Amino acid sequence: MHQAGNINDQAGRSSNSDGNASDDGHPPALTPILLKSYLKNSDAKSHLTLSNAHSMPAVGLGTWQSNAEDVISAVKAAVKNGYSLIDTASGYNNEEFIGTAIKEVIAEGVVKREDLFITTKVPNLFSSLRLVSL
């Protein structure tokens, strides 16, 4: 998974959604320019076939440790640049912001909901088979 806040330019500098280093204690978000470059130079278009015969992307955008503004910006930029897999977890506390970004790109006609994969991780506390809906 590619983390929204963990990309550096060729000089090793990180930047947030407006191109500046983050000074709020959170890792910087992926800028649209760096994201486009990453997609162009990666195998982000490869997919995996699931046991139900559906295909899903092998590479997605991770959203760990990003603030609300950065998550919304990174998710929107990712979807607009070809990403269709967004990863989160219950402990990230950013599902609402991911939802906001997805709602906006759908409203803009960029993508349909059925074309996106939103993956999440649940803590082991909730991982028993009887607690997981199949």
CATH class for domain 2-131? alpha beta
Element holding 84 (H helix, E strand): none
Per the annotation, the verdict on 83 as an active-site residue is: no
Encode the chain (134 residues) as per-residue pLDDT tens digits: 444 443 333 333 334 444 444 444 444 555 555 666 666 666 555 788 889 998 998 888 999 888 899 999 999 999 998 899 999 998 899 999 999 999 999 999 999 999 999 998 877 776 677 766 65
Set 92, 97, 102, 105: catalytic member: 92
Measured CA to CA in angstroms, residue 2 lies from 100, 107, 126, 128, 134 at distances of 20, 25, 25, 28, 27
Element holding 120 (H helix, E strand): strand 117-121
Q: What is the pTM of this model?
A: 0.64
